[in-house]
Structure 1
Amino acid sequence: MRILTLAAAVGMMLVSHSASADPLNLTLSGGNPGGLWSLLGVGIDRAVKADDPNSVITYQATGGGFANIGLLAAKRTDLGLVHDAEAKIGLQGGEPFRAPVENMRAIGYMYNWAPMHFFLNKEMAEKYKIDSIDDIATSGAPVRIGINRSGNITSNVALKMLEEAGVTEDVVTSNGGQFVRAGANEQADLIQDGRLDMITNGIFIKHSSFRAVDENTDVVLLGVPQEVIDATNEEFGTGTMVIPAGSYKNQKEDVSSVALGAVLVATESMSEENAYSLAKSLIKNIDEVKAVHSSMSALTPELLAKPTVIEFHPGAAKAYSEAGLLK
């Protein structure tokens, strides 16, 4: 009888464990096909499969972070990749949202190393003695400035930084320049063709688009005043990053700038078990995510657990607390 009772107890424990570790089956909304976020989707899928081959993260291509916040708000996706600056706008109900989006919960910080770059044609920089973005306002230079398209968060951040530096549209146009809306790759083509004098974007250091500009065009990386960085970070919940000297051919000194990050976000309706399982798999199998692209090599469990503008899902917080990553 004792043996049977023990066997029954073991059987119940196995059933209980199995029930608490059901495979994950979640949809992740990211960005354009073939972009970094789609690669992160692959890495996250591999991370959960490493713990349970039956788990699956299905990637869904979207228009990016703002679109993903809308999908999370409408409960039309389980997970979304969102820039920290986009998340703060969503929480506040700023454009393009009609009301605050309050159901978002963080699963983990994926990266925080996409600094804002401001490249200016070297000849113009030397002619008008422009070393920093705040020099533009008083230089009188007719600068044609590339700004990302509306709906891309780097557009919001670039305009805020320039405004804080005194570079408003009125100032630019009065000097004979203009703001030109263009995507990152288009900006690269335009400055190489001489149709732009300056380009802006929040992107990884030595990203292919900026590396091509640096190699094929004589440009300088402009400095950013600390007060501009502080005001922008206060506005968007972004961070600060140093672009090391020598990252680009004409860059002789370190340049500090605002840095964008990306967060893996769920909703408050996700079960604690699923959020816990997902975060635990990311911690344990982080190499699966790091392997998707060289730009992800700096990802650590500590970064996953870094607090963001969005509060952690209780399940994710539990996983990080158990791992000693969250106090």
Structure 2
Amino acid sequence: MSANHRSFPLSRVATTLATSACIGGLLLASTAHADRSEWPQSFTMGTASQGGTYFVYGSGWANLIADELGLSGGGEVTGGPTQNLALVHSGDIAFGMTTMGPAADAMSGNSPLAPGVVMDNVCAMFPMYETPFSISALTDSGITSISEIPDGARIGFGPAGSTSDTYFPAILAELGVNFERRNGGWTDLGGQLQDGLLDVIAFAAGIPIPAVSQLEVQTDVNIIEFTEEEQAAAIKAFPVSEFMIPASTYTTLEEDARAVSMWNFAIAGCDLPEDLVYEATRITMENNDKMRSVHRSAATTIPENVVHNHVIPFHPGAARWFNENGYEIDAAQIH
């Protein structure tokens, strides 16, 4: 990864869902008056593995921003929140998505990908959604609760270094589960579960999780919830909070399912041009209907939820939009 934060090697797009669009007079007035002299010609949004919410949300967001700003941009498959922090910090990608737990580690120099490196070129843009920690197993496994997960169960925790892989094994160990740890993309793990190569998948992803929805179409699935005692134990030991997965999320669920969750925020390189980040934030915050069409989890991608970031300093461009629109961000929280 490059250490030159201003080199903007942003044309490296593994999965480009948007191409350069000349939209001229269709640009909103504020965009037309933005200082674009230092803007890159293209950008990349770091997501996570295919089959997960990050990939769908991030690629769709990149498409929206590219269309609105007349740039070339797209989503890139990555290892998820922890790797996104490192890639944004180094300047290898412009934008990314992360959760508060890995962000706190990165800000304090405790990222497992770069121990001792304080990632101070990472700035917050806007709130995304809460990531529930949920567990799925095939119905014919007979597993209906966390306590019924058998000793030595083969559990898929998502991509190595992801939020799920960082926190879910520790949470299950805290709850007394003994397991064999497996990693991979969500789509791949879903296939392994269906083929009998895994016993359980422990997801940390925005809902509905595409891989779970696909499994529901193909087979019978159990969505395993936390008991009240298990939920309380997880909250006491880890940076997570109470969450209920609405019954409407999956056809399998007949009632809301108890879980825990962690907030997600979009991030940007702190040295990206202020007007670029301002416009990206404005478009996102003022077009929630378009964001919801990208993914249902974007229902909480609204300005009011900016208060859930107590970890990452805000990019000046993002902070300017929030402050102009009555969502006060203290100067001490701005990079």
Assess, with a 3 A threshold, how the Cα gap between structure 1 residues 33 and 224 changes in structure 2: closer, same or farther. closer
Q: Look up the equivalent residue of 1:103 and give its one-letter code.
A: N
Assess, with a 3 A threshold, how the Cα gap between structure 1 residues 273 and 233 changes in structure 2: closer, same or farther. farther
Alignment of 1:130-169 (within 5 A): 131-133=144-146, 135-136=147-148, 143-167=153-177
Query: Highest relative contact order (Cα 8 Å, sep 6+), 1 or 2?
Result: 1
The structural deviation recorded for 1:308 is 4.8
State the match for 1:241 in structure 2.
243
Residues matched between the structures, number: 289
The structural deviation recorded for 1:41 is 0.8
**Matched-pair contact (CA < 8 Å) for 2:175–2:233:** no
Please give the secondary structure, in 1, of the residue aligned with 2:191: helix
Alignment of 1:180-219 (within 5 A): 180-219=182-221
Please give the secondary structure, in 2, of the residue aligned with 1:241: strand
2:119 matches 1:101: yes
2:61 matches 1:40: yes
In structure 1, what is the Cα distance between the partners aligned to 2:236 and 2:63? Answer: 33
In structure 1, what is the Cα distance between the partners aligned to 2:195 and 2:292? Answer: 36
Identity across the alignment (%):
24
The structural deviation recorded for 1:242 is 1.0
2:127 matches 1:118: no
In structure 2, what is the Cα distance between the partners aligned to 1:271 and 1:181? Answer: 37
2:68 matches 1:66: no
Please give the secondary structure, in 1, of the residue aligned with 2:161: coil
Please give the secondary structure, in 1, of the residue aligned with 2:294: coil
Please give the secondary structure, in 1, of the residue aligned with 2:197: coil
**Matched-pair contact (CA < 8 Å) for 2:86–2:113:** no
The structural deviation recorded for 1:295 is 4.4
**TM-score, normalization by structure 2:** 0.71
In terms of fraction of residues, the more helix-rich structure is 1
Q: Look up the equivalent residue of 2:165 and give its one-letter code.
A: S
In structure 2, what is the Cα distance between the partners aligned to 1:19 and 1:295? Answer: 30
The structural deviation recorded for 1:71 is 2.5
State the match for 1:10 in structure 2.
none
In structure 1, what is the Cα distance between the partners aligned to 2:317 and 2:112? Answer: 30
Please give the secondary structure, in 1, of the residue aligned with 2:311: coil
Please give the secondary structure, in 2, of the residue aligned with 1:263: strand
The structural deviation recorded for 1:69 is 1.7
The structural deviation recorded for 1:83 is 3.2
In structure 1, what is the Cα distance between the partners aligned to 2:317 and 2:248? Answer: 42
Q: Look up the equivalent residue of 1:39 and give its one-letter code.
A: G
Of residues 314, 317, 328, the one that matches 1:315 is 317
In structure 1, what is the Cα distance between the partners aligned to 2:111 and 2:263? Answer: 19
Assess, with a 3 A threshold, how the Cα gap between structure 1 residues 296 and 98 changes in structure 2: closer, same or farther. same
Assess, with a 3 A threshold, how the Cα gap between structure 1 residues 60 and 200 changes in structure 2: closer, same or farther. closer
State the match for 1:21 in structure 2.
34
Please give the secondary structure, in 2, of the residue aligned with 1:70: helix
- List per-residue Cα deviations over 1:59-99 (Å, max 9, x = no partner): 36252433332222223443322233332231232301222
State the superposition RMSD in angstroms.
3.4
Structure 2, gaps ≥5 residues long: 1-29, 330-335
Q: Look up the equivalent residue of 2:39 and give its one-letter code.
A: N
In structure 2, what is the Cα distance between the partners aligned to 1:44 and 1:33? Answer: 21
In structure 2, what is the Cα distance between the partners aligned to 1:191 and 1:33? Answer: 17
In structure 2, what is the Cα distance between the partners aligned to 1:68 and 1:246? Answer: 31
State the match for 2:25 in structure 1.
none
**TM-score, normalization by structure 1:** 0.73
Structure 1, gaps ≥5 residues long: 1-16, 173-177
Please give the secondary structure, in 2, of the residue aligned with 1:309: coil
Moved more, 254-263 or 225-234: 225-234
State the match for 2:11 in structure 1.
none
